[in-house]
Structure 1
Amino acid sequence: MSALVCVARIGAAHGVRGAVKLWTFTEDPFAVRRYGPLSTKDGRRQFEIAQAREARDHLVATFKGVATRDEAERLNGIELYVPREKLPATDEDEYYHTDLIGLAAVTTDGEPLGRVLAIHNFGAGDIIEIAPPKGTTLLLPFSNAVVPEVDLTGGRVVIALPQEIEGEDEGNDPSTSRPRLVRKAHGSGDP
């Protein structure tokens, strides 16, 4: 079975005719209409978008077969998935989160660090979260400088640990020891 990728989450009902707020996780919010029926993660339910329009930071959508506010309210919180192969191919140094999560993380010397737990973006750039076998997770910039190699076929990412991590040495100026956060897809390789 193909890997599934979450492309949207249904939000609260909108109006009285079965519309919902739809939060999309695609670069183009309307791309969710091009993937065909969307399904729940377990595949038990499928949803086909009948109409969608742009709102402030989400879409307002109606699904075929959902005509009342009560029906729409029961959908709140459902995540919608598509098979990975329905998504467009990525460019060089661009990755879907689902392709990275679970990969082994190793240092440039080949020492194991753990596994990729998640990719986050809190507004300053992408962050890779590594879960070591023991201890607290590592949060590092997902940049060419810190992640010089992503080997999807080999199932690993190579991590160049920063020389200084803010807070380790009280005498350091945090503005000089904090790595710049850049998207891996656009990073130049400079920290």
Structure 2
Amino acid sequence: MQLVVGRIGRAHGIKGEVTVEVRTDEPELRLGPGAVLATDPAAAGPLTVAAGRVHSGRLLLRFEGVANRNAAEALRNTLLIAEVDPDEQPEDPEEFYDHQLVDLDVVTVDGTPLGRITEIAHLPSQDLLIVERPDGGELMIPFVEEIVPEIDLSAQRAVVDPPPGLIDAAEAVVAGSRETEGAERAGEDEA
């Protein structure tokens, strides 16, 4: 199974280093020296990590065959993709890989279905579960233990206990956009 583990940002310095937006919980494993990564677009790779370091809170990588700033800048916005065994599990039982969470059904603690996880957004402050509602709408649920108390991989579901307003606010936005569309259509019919 292939997973996006990073995105190349700007070149750093003149020796071919690049900044990397990390999209994995295990950068030392997935982006460590010697790691061979597929790329998107595919024309940029595969790339082999020659060296890595953290500078001012950002991961910097240097790839074999990328020796100067121009070559590094040409890689900007390239996605880095690692091959991951689908049966591989994180060491901590309370951690999950993105591929384990995508497609889980999401239900509230009282069993009300909310939708299905389509994506995990890794933000600086916390991760978000992106949930597609049955009506096509989307929910963004903070992936913290207080709100997501249970992930049951065998049952293929995530149980959420949303605070007041998290789900209601999303429904109000969807309902409000439907009311606006209806009013716009009514105005078009009158014209």
CA contact (8 A) 1:35 1:82 kept: no
Structure 1 residues 75, 125: closer, same or farther in 2, change over 3 A? closer
- Equivalent residue pairs, number: 166
> Cα offset for 1:77?
0.7
Using the TM superposition, give the Cα deviation of residue 110 of structure 1 relative to its aligned residue in structure 2, in angstroms.
3.8
Separation in structure 2 between the aligned mates of residue 28 and residue 51 of structure 1, nearest angstrom: 16
- For structure 1, the 5+ residue unaligned runs are 170-191
Structure ranking higher in helix proportion: 2
Distance 1:103 1:29 in 2: 25
Q: Look up the match of 1:15.
A: 13
Q: Displacement of 1:41 after TM fit?
A: 5.1
- Give 1:26 deviation, angstroms: 4.2
Partner Cα distance (1:105, 1:27) in 2: 22
Kindly state the Cα deviation for residue 132 of structure 1 after the two structures are TM-superposed: 0.3
Output the amino acid matched with 2:81. Y
Instruction: Rate the CA distance shift 1:43–1:166 in 2: closer, same or farther, 3 A.
Output: closer
Choose 141-150 or 98-107, whichever is displaced more. Answer: 141-150
Aligned to 2:23: 25
Decide whether aligned partners of structure 1 residues 35 and 147 sit closer, same or farther in structure 2, where only a CA change above 3 A counts. farther
Partner of 2:177: none
Partner of 2:99: 98
Give the conservation status (yes or no) of the 8 Å contact 1:108–1:160: yes
Structure 1, 97-106 or 71-80: larger mean CA deviation: 97-106
Cα distance 1:135–1:147, how it changes in 2: closer, same or farther (>3 A)? same
Q: 1:60-99 residue pairs with structure 2 within 5 A?
A: 60-85=60-85, 89-99=90-100
Structure 1 residues 90-149: Cα deviation after superposition (integer angstroms, max 9, x where no partner): 412211223212212123444432111333465654443322021532233434443332
Secondary structure of 2:85's match?
helix
In the other structure, the counterpart of 1:36 is: 35
Identity of aligned residues (%): 32
**Partner residue, 1:48:** 48
2:47/2:64 contact within 8 Å kept: yes
Residue of structure 1 in register with 2:185 after alignment: none
Q: Label 1:158 to 1:74 Cα distance change in 2 as closer, same or farther (>3 A).
A: same
Structure 1 residues 166 and 156, CA, compared in 2 at 3 Å: closer, same or farther? Answer: closer
Q: 1:115 to 1:33 in 2, by over 3 A?
A: same
Contact 1:103 1:155 (8 Å CA) reproduced:
yes
Matched-pair contact (CA < 8 Å) for 2:3–2:82: yes
TM-score under structure 1 normalisation?
A: 0.68
Consecutive unaligned residues of structure 2, counting only runs of 5 or more, are 170-191
Shift of 1:35: 6.8
